[in-house]
A = this chain, B = another copy of it.
Amino acid sequence: MSEAIDYNTLLTSEEFESRLRKIGETRYHNLHPFHKLLHGGKLNKGQVQAWALNRYYYQCSIPIKDSVVMSRMKDPELRRIWRKRIIDHDGESADTGGIERWYKLTDGLGLDRAYVESTDGILSTTRFAVDAYVNFVKQRSLLEAITSSLTELFAPGIHKERISGMLKNYDFINDDIMAYFKKRLTQAPDDAKYVLDYALENAKTRQEQEDVCNALIFKTQVLWSMLDALHFSYHEPGIIPPGAFVPKE
């Protein structure tokens, strides 16, 4: 399918970064039609609920994923830097942090918090995709585990589009509800810059450069798979699997 790779030829930093950015341009989930529907105001409240409910499973798994990554770091300096991510999501106390801000979204959409937290109603595909991410960082090299988060390079664009699109297009969305994404506008770029520099510095062989590219591709597949399932179950053709969340409205 793809052309043969010459493992004796290292990519320059520019070539390597360009490869990574190209993966984002062609595979990041801002390209998925479900996001265009979501941001363009084409979904009803029940469909937006389904999205927020499923995406919650991703949100609550991220600090678990980052704990796994941190558990594999032998360097305290690296762990101190990575720790910020867990604090960002879990907060300094129970009422701060990214997961809590996600509840503002699900609360605002009228979803019961205990139901959201149970994850009982999520799509199996969501669970399998997110669990695949956690397993990936357990099983692959530390370089791949760290750099699978490079999708953050492309996050600010989608967050800006989401905030403005959803505020404009849905009467059930307001500033408070979108707190999660507004916060991520400042958090994600620092994290992404750090990981990009880490990749450029630590992928010292062509094999490692390819591993980093594949880790990023893998992560785009996790995000894409989640949207495929939402699109299929709640939009077109709209066939909800047995046991999954059924919107009331």
Contact = CB atoms under 8 A, between A and B. Distances in A.
A121 to B, nearest CB: 7
A33 interface: yes
A120 interface: yes
B27 A242 contact: yes
A76 interface: no
Interface residues of A, number: 34
Contact of A225 (B115, B124, B243): B124
A221 B232 CA distance: 15
Contacts of A137: none
B241 A228 contact: yes
A206 to B, nearest CB: 20
Nearest to A2: B120
B224 A241 contact: yes
A233 interface: yes
Interface in A229-249: 229, 231-233, 236-237, 239, 241-243
Contacts of A26: 242
Contact of A135 (B125, B131, B239): B131
Contacts of A239: 33, 228, 231
A222 interface: yes
A75 B83 CA distance: 44
B222 A124 contact: yes
Interface in A30-77: 31, 33
Given A125-B128, A125-B129, A128-B222, 6 more contacts: A1-B115, A26-B242, A33-B237, A124-B129, A124-B225, A231-B237
15 contacts: A1-B115, A31-B242, A33-B237, A124-B222, A124-B225, A125-B129, A125-B229, A131-B132, A132-B132, A224-B241, A225-B229, A228-B228, A228-B232, A231-B232, A236-B236
Interface of A: 1, 26-27, 31, 33, 115, 120-121, 123-125, 127-129, 131-132, 135, 217, 220-222, 224-225, 228-229, 231-233, 236-237, 239, 241-243
Would you list the 10 A-B pairs with minimal beta carbon distance, nearest first?
Answer: A124-B221, A232-B232, A128-B128, A128-B132, A125-B225, A27-B242, A236-B237, A124-B225, A128-B129, A228-B232
